[in-house]
Structure 1
Amino acid sequence: MRNLTITFKISVIIALIFVLWGAFFPEYLGNIMSIAQAFFLNTFGWFYNLAASFFLLFSLFLIFSKFGKIKLGKDTDKPEFSRATWFAMLFSAGMGIGLLFYGVSEPVSHYAAPPVGEGGSRESALLALRYTYLHWGFHAWAIYAVVALALAYFKFRKGAPGLISSTLSPILGDRVNGPIGYTIDIVAVFATVFGVCASLGLGSQQINAGLSYLVGLPVNFTVQVTIILIITVLFILSASTGIQRGIKYLSNTNMILATILLIAMLILGPTLFLLNLFTHTLGEYVQNLPQMGLRIFPFDEKRAEWTQGWTIFYWAWWISWSPFVGMFIARVSKGRTVREFTIAVLVVPTLVCAFWFCVFGGTGIHLDLLQGVDVAGQSLETGLFFVYEHLPLGGLLSIVTVLLITTFFITSADSATFVLGMQTTEGSMNPSNFIKITWGLILSASAIVLMASGGLQALQTAIIVSAFPLTIVLLIMSIAIVKVFKSEVKVAKTKRNR
């Protein structure tokens, strides 16, 4: 224990207290979390909206600013991974399970119950995809880009530890090495834990739903816990192999399977309809982006609840994921320039996510709206498999999907143990297996107690609450980025003038 950091010790103690609280008093924990969720959504929804929009504007500013040529590393550093492998890692660690869980269910849900207008109509179908693109598009990846950019710059160019606190040194100075720095890193740790827990919970639910369709396995909490325990063993084994083997190979496997699944859905579904739908809704999304990103409905309580339950929850989820995804993206982005990095992280994943949701969600909407199949009546976790039943080769697609969810599950948890290890070992790029295994067990235990305390709602609450202090940290981080970039440009200009 003498070699363990203060951040690790304090984080593990707090995490164990939380797990024990949930294990022995699940109903009490569930009640507390319900109260907390209502408070943060009602009181700070505007704050999450403004913060998410700010990060998008800030990312655009970085792309077009004079800072674009600054390299995330030394001037002679070259990228460690090819672009194809780099993109595969972005998706696998970023949004893998969510793309499958929400691929059909979110667009269909918005189509049936849109934020404005009547559900079940052609207008609500277009609106559904616009809002799905909003939730998984530019705002989300801008949050990731800002955090990853700061971490990569300070780690690879300045030689600072790979910690969230280190990125605030231009503002806080040496105080990042004391209690203030420890507090910032612990906030990032718990935002990461709860953000990843949500994905683990969603993944176990959808694997359970897929196995139910394939082999008749019952859908219940016990089965989902069993799934989490089995995959915990698998991702701990993967984590022990290190990033070059475990995560890299799984990420490439995920990308291949996801591409096959996407192409199959496009071909087996209403292909021409989907291509036309994507072109139309992508234009509407870009055209209406500012309005949708800031919409909060102050005079309409019902519509405000919709925004809180979907849009604001997503902003909090991406913010809580940002230390995890940001550190992982930073780890694999050494040698990129600020402009190349920001454009790639912001634009490419957004377009791919939008096309994914159009193909999967558009197929579900087409079945419901134009063929009379009740896709909207299915639960979130079963919607995708219900759509498969009405397509050729549906059984094969279900098998591939369960395999893909499983590999995404393993990769996300594998990546999370690596990042949590970095966060709690003063930024070590190679945390010990003991550290990674400890965090792997804590992640699984936390996901289980949250599911026992209130299912998806408890997971959402943990995200919304943990993201609040982290949002403040990220806003300060943005100021720090500008301050240090200005200093670097000034130094470079002075050298040229000598």
Structure 2
Amino acid sequence: MPAEVGMPGPDGAPGAGLSRGLDGVGKPPTGRGVRQLGSVFWISIAVAVVFVAWAALFTENLNRVTATSLNWVTASFGWGYLFATLGILVFLVFLAFSPVGRTRLGKDTDRPEFSNLTWFAMLLGAVMGIGLVSYGVAEPISHLAVPPHGLAEPNTPEAAVRALQYSYFDWGLHAWAVFAVFGLAIAYSTYRKGRRPLVSQLFTPFLGDRVNGPIGKAIDVLSVFATLFGTATSLGLGALQISNGMGRLFTIPVNSVFQVLVIAVITAIFTMSAVTGINKGIKMLSYVSGAMAIGMFVFVLAVGPTVFLANLYIESLGLWASDFFRMSLQGAAFGDLEWMQGWTYFMLAWWVSWGAFVGIFLARISRGRTIRGFIGGVLTVPSIAFFTWFAVFGGTAIHVDLFQGGDIAEQTAADFGNAFFATLDHLPLSTVTSVVAVLLAVIFFVTSADSNTYVLGTLTSHGSLNPSRPVLVLWGVLTGLTAMVLMLAGGLGALQNTVIVTSLPFLVIIAGLTIALGREITADHHATNSHTKEKTDAAR
């Protein structure tokens, strides 16, 4: 997940860098005089407060309602997540290879603000998030013990290959297709068409001026809630990792109370960073975390079963490629609903809920790039990074359980947060690497939540690129409270249930903005060609 969206500008204000990147195109409100909060803000705040109160006061009712809703959503519309994300991926590939792929995200004379190398590094920075620590071992080792769709016998070499194959599927092209279409739509709308950076503005080709009315406001409210629950899920996962790591290092009892305390402390930190000048320090920490992650990766690759990891990587990558379309459309027609709820449907819903946030980040760093270059970079670079990370860390855990008599899968089944640290216990310098892993989790936790708070502030402040401090504080507190009540309500299960249920309306929005984007790009391309032809004919 993105470590840094609103890169600080000269004044050190949160999001000033983003303001510098978007300002001057659509003239979105950036001045300090834009402080009147409209209905999107008040409706979003009211519903968020009601949800927190519901979860805190009527926990059993919340769990019952979300569980029932989950079963209905996944049984009735689970196929929609598969079909929509694959459709978006195909749409993006078509765009990239079509003549419109040469179109610039901005004026025709604009050129990229960042070099290719820097841009690739920033894309890699975008994926450096809590998911790498939370799922880098936990997902492959879980699939080893319970192979997806019964495609192999548990704890066998065949299961090992399947484990990485499905990890690649969950964290690869489908996820980045969702992010890419959002980023492309926001960049095109803002840089090329001069609109405000709001999700509702992406529907201008369909709605015209009505995007500023009730329909547009409803779209922005749904965007807020998808982002809020996606963030809360990440905070909950971060709390699991931090609490388990500290529990192992300092023999602290790991329970829901300690996890809530972790969320409270980190919430205070990222909220403070969002409203003060210290997010320059957060930016520095994000660079440090990237270096730490690379260092840990190289260390595990060097001291782990290197040859085994290389062979497993190649074989699982080949199986992923050959089975790609089968996996992309494999639903729960034959009784796999529970497994799909815990993995594929949850993952796709999570990516949907993060679409607006990651899209703004991608738009911020991509002005002046061609559509073809944008799509190619966003789809491939982060996917390769995830594949390699999962192969090294997940593959090391698989080797331990298959050939060294380990019990990492068993520990993961008992507590999801154990996986990463249980793997490090089987490598040299386990105490040092565990400390590094905890620090990584903390930094990823803080930087992602800090940036998400800024995005929530922007979405509820008429697209203002400099949301007021009270707005940022309020969203920081509400994000932390949402994560806390969901952790107390049922831990990881409650987080997964809620993000799937709340993401369904936003899936419809993503499908709609994809169609709107395709329609607008095609119309603009035809208009440009017609204008060029008229000029040529006139010259003759």
Which band: TM-score by shorter chain?
over 0.9
Name the structure 2 match of 1:412. Answer: 448
Deviation at 1:243, TM superposition (A): 11
What are the Cα deviations for residues 297-342 of structure 1, in whole angstroms up to 9, with x where unaligned? 413x1x3322232111111110111111112221222222111111
* 1:92-103 pair list within 5 angstroms: 92-94=125-127, 96-103=129-136
Instruction: Name 2:488's counterpart in structure 1.
Output: 452
Name the SS for the 2:417 alignment partner.
Answer: coil
Show the 5 A alignment for 1:177-326. Answer: 177-241=212-276, 245=280, 248-299=283-334, 301=335, 303-326=336-359
What RMSD, in angstroms, separates the aligned Cα atoms of the two structures?
1.8
How far does the alpha carbon of each residue in 1:44-102 deviate from its partner, in whole angstroms, 9 at most, with x for none?
11111111211111121121111111111223334344555544544555461011111
| Cα displacement (A) at 1:449 | 0.8
The equivalences for 1:99-138 within 5 A come to 99-115=132-148, 116=150, 117-138=152-173
Residues 3-57 of structure 1, C-alpha deviation per residue, up to 9 Å, x if partnerless?
A: 1122111101111111111122222212211111111111111111111211111
CA distance in 1, matches of 2:279, 2:56: 36
Instruction: Assess, with a 3 A threshold, how the Cα gap between structure 1 residues 85 and 447 changes in structure 2: closer, same or farther.
Output: farther
CA–CA separation in structure 1 for the residues paired with 2:87 and 2:175: 12
Matched position secondary structure for 1:376: helix
User: Any idea what the Cα deviations from partners look like across 1:455-477, whole Å, max 9, x if unmatched?
Assistant: 11111121111111111111111
* Range with greater deviation from structure 2 (200-209 or 372-381): 372-381
Q: Distance in 2 between matches of 1:372 and 1:200?
A: 33
1:17-96 equivalences in 2 (<5 Å): 17-83=50-116, 85-94=118-127, 96=129
Deviates further, 170-179 or 234-243:
234-243
Q: Which digits, 9 at most, give the CA deviation of each residue in 1:113-154, with x for residues without a partner?
A: 012231111101000000000000001000100011101111
SS at match of 1:427: coil
Letter in 2 for 1:137: G
Match of 1:158 in 2: 193
CA–CA distance in structure 2, aligned partners of residues 124 and 85 of structure 1: 38
Gaps of 5+ in 2: 1-33, 536-540
Identity of aligned residues (%): 46
Task: Flag the 1:432–1:250 CA change in 2: closer, same or farther, 3 A.
Answer: farther
Whole-Å Cα distance in 1 between the matches of residues 275 and 252 of structure 2?
A: 31
- Which residue, 361, 367, 370 being the options, matches 1:334? 367
Taking the aligned partners of 1:85 and 1:414, their CA distance within structure 2 comes to 22
TM-score normalized with structure 2 length:
0.89
- State the alpha-carbon separation in 2 of the partners of residues 484 and 65 from structure 1: 15
What's the secondary structure of 1:130's corresponding residue?
Answer: helix
Decide whether aligned partners of structure 1 residues 224 and 31 sit closer, same or farther in structure 2, where only a CA change above 3 A counts: same
Q: Select 1:369's aligned residue among 385, 402, 413.
A: 402
In structure 2, how many angstroms separate the alpha carbons of the residues matched to 1:243 and 1:143?
A: 31
**Does the CA-based 8 Å contact 1:89-1:251 persist in structure 2?**
no
Tell me the CA shift for residue 2 of structure 1.
Answer: 7.3
Q: What is the alpha-carbon distance in structure 2 between the residues aligned to residue 170 and residue 486 of structure 1?
A: 11
Count of residues in Structure 1 that have an aligned counterpart in Structure 2: 496
Distance 1:91 1:237, change over 3 A: farther
**Cα distance in 1 between the residues matched to 2:202 and 2:226:** 17
**Mapped partners of 1:99, 1:216: distance in 2:** 24
**Cα distance in structure 2, aligned partners of 1:496 and 1:244:** 47
Match of 2:466 in 1: 430
Q: Could you say which residue in structure 2 is the equivalent of 1:397? A: 433
Contact 1:92 1:254 in 2 (8 A): no
**Among residues 109, 123, 148, which one is paired with 2:183 in the alignment?**
148
Work out whether residues 172 and 383 of structure 2, in 8 Å CA contact, stay in contact via their aligned partners in 1.
yes
Structure 1, 122-131 or 237-246: larger mean CA deviation: 237-246
Q: 1-side partners of 2:285 and 2:187: how far apart?
A: 23
Partner of 1:472: 508
Measured at CA, do residues 409 and 483 of structure 1 come closer, stay the same or move farther in structure 2, by a change above 3 Å?
same
Task: Identify if the C-alpha distance between structure 1 residues 490 and 113 changes in structure 2 by more than 3 Å, giving closer, same or farther.
Answer: same
Alpha carbons 1:421, 1:439 under 8 Å: kept = yes
Q: 1:208 to 1:355 in 2, by over 3 A?
A: same
Distance between the aligned counterparts of 1:254 and 1:316, measured in 2? 27
Residue 345 of structure 1: CA displacement? 0.7
Alignment match of 2:386 (pick from 325, 350, 353) = 353
Q: Is the contact made by 1:425 and 1:431 (CA closer than 8 Å) also made in structure 2? A: yes
For the residues of structure 2 that align with 1:66 and 1:247, how far apart are their CA atoms? 41
Aligned-partner SS, 1:377:
helix
Q: Give the conservation status (yes or no) of the 8 Å contact 1:88–1:254.
A: no
CA distance in 1, matches of 2:174, 2:219: 23
Give every structure 1 segment of 4 or more consecutive aligned residues whose post-TM-superposition deviation is greater than 6 Å.
none
The whole-number CA distance in structure 1 between the counterparts of 2:279 and 2:109 is: 22
| Distance in 2 between residues matched to 1:169 and 1:450, nearest whole Å | 36
What amino acid is the match of 2:526?
K
CA distance in structure 1 between the aligned counterparts of 2:394 and 2:453, rounded to whole angstroms:
32
Local SS of the residue matching 2:411: coil
1:496 and 2:529 equivalent? no
Point out where structure 1 has 5 or more consecutive residues left out of the alignment. none
Counterpart CA distance in 1 for 2:129 and 2:170 is 15
Distance of 2:155 and 2:516 partners within structure 1: 47
- 1:400 deviation in Å? 0.7
Q: Secondary structure at the match of 1:459?
A: helix
Task: Provide the rounded CA distance (Å) in 1 between the counterparts of 2:122 and 2:239.
Answer: 21
Identify the residue that residue 8 of structure 2 maps to in structure 1: none
Distance (Å, rounded) in 1 between the aligned partners of 2:213 and 2:169: 39
Q: Are the counterparts in 2 of residues 154 and 167 from structure 1 also a CA contact under 8 Å?
A: yes
